[in-house]
Amino acid sequence: MAFKEYGDYDAVDLAELVRKKEVSAKELLDEAIARTAKVDPQINAVVVKHYEYAERQIEHGLPDGPFTGVPFLLKDLDLLEGTRTTSGATVLKDFVADHTGTLARRFLGTGVSIFGKSSSPEFGLMPTTESRLFGPTRNPWNLEHSCGGSSGGAAAAVAARILPVAHASDGGGSIRIPASASGVFGLKPTRARNPLGPDRGEGWGGFSCGHVVSISVRDSAVMMDAIHGPESSSPYFAPPPERPFSQEVGRDPGELRISFTDKSPYGDAIDPEIAAAVREIASLLAGLGHHVEERAPALAADPAAVMTTIVSGNTALTVRLIEQRLGREMTDNDLEVLTLAHSRNATRTSATDYVAAQLAAFQISRSLAIFFESCDVFLCPTLCAPPLRIGELNTMSNDLSHVAPILRRYMPGTSMFNMSGQPAMSVPLAWNKAGLPLGMMFSAKFGDEATLFRLAGQLEQVRPWKNKLPPVRA
């Protein structure tokens, strides 16, 4: 039986319907599967489908959690025992996980039914989702454009209303970039707020973290309540919240000190419609009673240079582990040219270079900490250009010289908050004349997701986005 109103509900609402027995978990799963069949041939967001896994979950009895019965997707980088996990890589196209990651276990504990995996670029390396293995994931607002990356499949699936909330992860902007490009809400939590084990204590030198993208702010907050906190092997953990994050949504944010900029951190010119949107939102915030001033942090080092060294080193280790497991050297038949280039770049980098990059990341972190001594929130564009066109970034090109200039133009401001570990969110508050979403990024002090949830809840009330739907939707 089709549940026609499914797309009107966020995940909290769907779980409440299940709790009241107004709809069953199986009916919700069937609706998500039907919506996938309808819209995924156009957007290519659900690249691993394991419907039988979710059906078995329901048959065996879902745990009683805040999202019991809600369909859910894992990003195709995380492990779920007995299911295919490719990381977007040809060489791993048949890999089946032999255990479940800590974060995935916590998602399962919320009561969700995990019916598949959302697309990611190979190893999550790009801010667009166009792996050689699965092909491009397209933006539901315009199929000629990217949905962002690396959590592109998650954001596209949520935007197209296949489901209201999906797993996402962020090592340099990979929650916020696709949230912006796809017109959904995405918050990157404080470093170590959510666990990354059991196979690793941190990702990309402490830059990476996992959470969700969602239709509503409260879905993000309720999910964080359910999954946050260290595990026994965590090397460090985030400051505990004063109260549940879900209680922050709808709470008066008070008069916040908000700094903003409509410029790239490099001082480069940005898309004029995006700059105008930032100024419009700054005026909106002032009208809501916040103290708003135009001011931006001066960074002590170049975030792009730091990312290159840290990401290359981590990618090289991934490649080495695959080679050790398979007993042979990787070629471009196995991995994309860009992935192999990252790995080769690391062989030309010394251990001293890696430590220097970590020191530069700390210097960036310290400059941001000093900046936030005189403000509560910093507003800037999530992306400094509209969503990229499909094919604009080519990870299989023998000439990769186009990549760095595009990244500098497109997403120069996201990675610094991975380096500082501060929470940052992309809020879908603007669209350009072509109908493409333009997310606004808000960041706060280390450990202060509470302020972001309060502000996001306020913005969701005064400038709602839930009913703004893309042309391609289920």
Residues, the chain? 474
Task: Map tokens 């919240």 to a residue.
Answer: 241
How far apart are the C-alpha atoms of 149 and 173, rounded to whole Å?
8
Active site residue 246: no
Residue of 113, 131, 150, 182 marked catalytic? 150
| 75 among known catalytic residues | yes
- Give the span between the Cα atoms of 195 and 232, in whole angstroms: 10
Task: Give dist(CA 309, CA 382) in Å, integer.
Answer: 23
Check: CB of residue 382 under 8 Å from CB of residue 177. Answer: yes
* Catalytic residue selected from 49, 75, 117, 263: 75
174, 180, 220, 343: the catalytic one is: 174
Encoded tokens for 117: 């995996």
Is 415 considered catalytic here? no
- Catalytic (active-site) positions: 75, 150, 174
